[in-house]
Amino acid sequence: MKQEQFIHHYQPLWDQLELWLDYQQIPSKQRERDGLTEPELDFPRAYRQLCHHLALAQSRMYSPLLIEQLNQLVMRGHNKLYTSRLHFAHRFITFYLRDLPRLARREWVAILLSSLLFFGSFFAILVAIQFEPELVYSVIDGSQVAGMEEMYNPERSSRLGREREADSDVLMFGFYIKNNTGIGFQVFAGGLLYGLGSLFFLLYNGLTIGAVAGHLTQIGYIETFWGFVAGHSAFELTAIMLSGAAGFKLAQALVMPKRKSRLLALRDNAQEAIGIVYGAATLFIMAAFVEAFWSSQTWIPVTLKYAVGIGLWLLVIGYFTLLGRGEATDEA
């Protein structure tokens, strides 16, 4: 292809890309004031094509002026792409090191309510079963009880917490993620039922987990069960509680929209709720990793598992209560 044909064929794309880059340099306030709209462009795709065009122009030894023009455009695109990635990384780090713990402290009422429902039902049934062992069957059926006893039998020499010994740690990691996030989604989405769904799933999961813990403790499977859950409990239980708090934020918009319409209140509260859900999802993934690759191992001394579990609980509590306080005062 001759240089004139090359320019004629690809100049519209170069012009469009240059126009898009010029728009990106305009301050957002000026865009709003002047009523400017962003040109339509698939930037990553256009940038890849531009790099290809520069390579073609250089290999075909087109005029230095054209090569320099394309090179300048490639440099502008590279700087924009690199800056965007830096902004994403900065936002990612800022969210987890500052915004998430601040958000949790700001929404302490929803978190407190979620904690009382979940941990209250958990400890209530756990203690009750120590005095009335048959209570476990009012929460879970006999086959489930037998399955739990099998998984945490002290005589097991292979993995704990599994029904199928052949499953690999990687497969169980995926299974735990699916199971944990499924619980979290139910608790969170239940907020759309005016909070009744979140209320139900928090109580249901608190009673179910507490019944299992109470029964296995009552029959003496203390080291195998508590040694297994010690490592990932801080992440998993906190994530369930956070999912409930996010659900109650949705419910608040429906029950107490104040002077807003319910739709507007739901949209505003959903922004806060989604931030909490991001934190819960991260904790669920961390819990699944620990559960698959650490908690199930039988060769690790139970005292070490307890020590790590206590350390992780202190880490989670410290994260949500202390992180992000130094830069600005938390909102009430």
From the list 225, 275, 220, the residue with the least C-alpha distance to 110 is 275
- CA 290/CA 330 separation, integer angstroms: 31
Predicted confidence (pLDDT) per residue in 65-104, tens digit: 999 999 999 998 888 877 766 666 777 888 899 999 999 9
Per the domain annotation, does 243 fall within a domain? yes
- Each residue of 59-70: b (16+ CB within 10 Å) or e? eeebeeebeebb
Predicted confidence (pLDDT) per residue in 107-119, tens digit: 999 999 999 999 9
Instruction: Tell me what the mean pLDDT of segment 140-169 comes to.
Output: 76
- The set of residues, in sequence order, having a beta carbon less than 8 Å from that of 138 and lying 6+ positions away, is none
Residue written as token pair 């959903």: 270
Instruction: Tell me what the mean pLDDT of segment 24-32 comes to.
Output: 81
pLDDT band per the 50, 70, 90 thresholds, residue 38: confident
Per the domain annotation, does 101 fall within a domain? no
- Same domain membership, residue 283 and residue 161: yes
- CA 160/CA 121 separation, integer angstroms: 25
- Same domain membership, residue 203 and residue 81: no
Q: What is the pLDDT of residue 167?
A: 55
Residue 21 belongs to domain spanning = 3-95
- Same domain membership, residue 156 and residue 52: no
- Same domain membership, residue 180 and residue 135: yes
Instruction: Tell me what the mean pLDDT of segment 245-268 comes to.
Output: 91
Whether the full predicted model's pTM is greater than 0.85, yes or no, is no
Per the domain annotation, does 100 fall within a domain? no
- Same domain membership, residue 225 and residue 173: yes
Per the domain annotation, does 131 fall within a domain? yes
- Same domain membership, residue 195 and residue 71: no
Residues 279/243, Cβ–Cβ less than 8 Å: no
pLDDT band per the 50, 70, 90 thresholds, residue 329: very low
- Same domain membership, residue 81 and residue 111: no
Predicted confidence (pLDDT) per residue in 295-316, tens digit: 888 889 999 999 999 999 999 9
- Same domain membership, residue 129 and residue 9: no
Residue 114, token pair as written in the block: 């979620």
- The set of residues, in sequence order, having a beta carbon less than 8 Å from that of 150 and lying 6+ positions away, is 163
Residue where a domain stops, chosen among 36, 65, 95: 95
123, pLDDT greater than 90: yes
pLDDT band per the 50, 70, 90 thresholds, residue 157: low
DSSP class of 38: P
- Same domain membership, residue 123 and residue 88: no
CA 103 to chain CA centroid, Å, is 14
Per the domain annotation, does 23 fall within a domain? yes
Report which secondary-structure segment, H or E, holds 136: none
Number of domains observed in the structure of the chain: 2
Q: State phi, psi for 156 to the nearest 5 degrees.
A: -70, 135
Longest dimension (CA), the chain: 90
- CA 58/CA 66 separation, integer angstroms: 9
- CA 92/CA 88 separation, integer angstroms: 6
Instruction: Tell me what the mean pLDDT of segment 178-202 comes to.
Output: 94
